[in-house]
Amino acid sequence: MIAVKIEVNGKPVDPEDMETALHMATIQSVREATDSTIGDLRCPVHGQAPMLLCHGDRLDTLEMQVTGCCQQLIDMASEKLQEDDGQEDSPVE
């Protein structure tokens, strides 16, 4: 499963945290959809997998975006997610 990183106000948040746990269902569903699309993707330069970054001012207004070791991987992942748009739930911008 694709790794997920959660940041609120620029600070990393522990997914096991009680308040965060309330929002994990939403994050998990996006995570699963993302994983099915780009879970097998690897950076051709670094061999790293992409990550899902959830960030925002508050836990209930998190934006999901794909991140990774370098811009090349992020571009590849974003492109693949866009191609897949409409077939299943993708992160909404």
- Determine, following the binding rule CB under 5 A, whether residue 74 of this chain makes contact with Zn ion: no
Nearest approach, Cβ of 52 to Zn ion (angstroms)?
16
- Residue 73's CB: how many other CB atoms inside 10 A? 24
- Determine, following the binding rule CB under 5 A, whether residue 69 of this chain makes contact with Zn ion: yes
Query: Of 2-61, which residues contact Zn ion (CB under 5 A)?
Result: 43, 45-46
Is residue 5 within 8 A of residue 15, CB to CB? The reply is: no
Nearest CB to Zn ion, comparing residues 24 and 43: 43
Among 5, 70, 82, 83, binds Zn ion (CB under 5 A): 70
Binding site for Zn ion (CB under 5 A): 43, 45-46, 69-70, 73
